[in-house]
Structure 1
Amino acid sequence: MTSTATLRTVQTRTLDVSYLETGPDDGAPVILLHGFPYDVESYREVAPRLAAEGRRVIVPYLRGHGPTRFLDPETPRSGQQAALGADVVEVMDALDIPRAVLAGYDWGGRAACVAAALQPDRVTGLVSVNGYLIHDIRAAMKPLPPALEAGFWYFFYFLTDRGYAGLTANRRELAEVIWRRNSPEWPFDDATLDRTARSFENPDYVDVVIHSYRHRLGAAPGAPEYEAAEQALAALPAISVPTITLDGMADGNFPATDGSASAPHFSGPREHRQVPHAGHNLPQEAPDAFAAAVRDVAALT
């Protein structure tokens, strides 16, 4: 992130969450949420654009990433969707933010969708890359077309002991393979990857990542404290808050759509946009388009 952002820490029920903050303290709050295998660097150019417009911009390191740490060594290192969504709301509680725009992609988009679906009173607007990202875990074993399955190789790799050992030993290298598949038109360099890869040295990174993929494929139980939320998410609740969804037209794993297939999951105002030449890490690859969506979502009625 740029030098104008301040690194801070706030304590929630479960975590010491490290986050970058920029913009005026009294600005309309926006929380930007990163994915896997990425980190806050995804918003290196988005955050200052929004701050310059008077918004209070908060960019947390998700659980298992960067300086964010669990408070209790006995807490399960869950990466399930309900945990990610709860973390967002708990950060808002800890920072005394009653409502905010939530914007993200991949894991971060999922966290934002979960929070918006389960606690819409806390969300003034949602920006989500690849649409409605709440998992239907009951359908996790339904096959996809082979071309899509090939891009999800690491989902199944992480089901195995070999995958656990591989992620432990090759965090940066695995990320590079995934980045190149996810974003074939993004000409990132070694320095860009290195800045993000530092976040993978978190001591809980491997356990959180492995649990995330095993849980979403129905191969690992969730943490008991999130069971009620997971039951609610199993119904695939509609999102009622104003929403802009984005698809990168050069996303190597998630082909761009017109948004119609996910339309039934949005009961409030919603607009879908396609972004040329952007891959899966859309805010870092197309910061103007992502910042514009955050700016515009408040105007949807």
Structure 2
Amino acid sequence: MIDVSNLTKVYGPVRAVDDLSFRVKPGIVTGFLGPNGAGKSTTMRMILGLDAPTVGTATINGRRYRELPRPLATVGALLDAKSVHPNRSAANHLRWLAQSNGIPTSRVGEVLELVGLSDVAGKKAGGFSLGMGQRLGLAGALLGDPEVLILDEPVNGLDPEGIRWVRGLLRALAAEGRTVLVSSHLLSEMAQTADNLIVIGRGRLVAETSVAEFIREHSAVTTRVRTPDVDKLGAALTAAGIAFTKSGDGLEIPDRPTEEIGALAFNAGVMLTELSGAKASLEDAYMRTTQDSVQYTGQKEIR
């Protein structure tokens, strides 16, 4: 369990994190979303004791990170896959981490095999590609078989097979009862991976809910119908006070579910040849929710 309470971080005139509170529960994957500059990385650093909060607390299983006797056995983290000595081999990097936390060195081979780096265990990390570096970072996060995982952009640089593997790994770890907090800008991937979402903007909490509820609350839903009796259906919609637009040989009705429109057409005696709903996406909901919190935007059109 990760518990963030009234967390605030001030750098001079900038409030990077502003009175932020949320809880990350075990047994599910929680996505951590927000525009660039929203405060996600700063929040993760404070949870892990790398930055001290100006105000508030961040605890893991009821303890601050610095109070954990063997941190890697409780929390596995990946914030920056490049933070590896370039002249150390993958295996030696993990052995050093293991020895510093009282973890058996036999675990090194296990995690290297898990992340698919067994064949390059003896190679220097400085020669690794971005994707291989990410896999090594994940190996380090998993080294202590932790109860809690905190991962910042874990699929960055991975190929489609690697992304799919990480997705399955995170869901499997959560299914074992672990607490998983993962930040990513790949919204399509978060839609397939996360169960719950924490969305922040300009350091403040925007939403803390399930993925399905977030999409439902923050996305427009459009129902499309086709019928030989367009005018009759249009009259029925108008009489019911429902707005619509004509589109080709059909109608588009915003913000109304298919069930409602189907029932209205049935009661009006209108035959439908198509009744479909445009499914909202996580990206649509995210963009609508965070549009006022975007700090860095491009203004000029490229021609």
Report the TM-score when normalising by structure 1: 0.23
Larger Rg computed on CA atoms: 2
**Larger proportion of strand:** 2
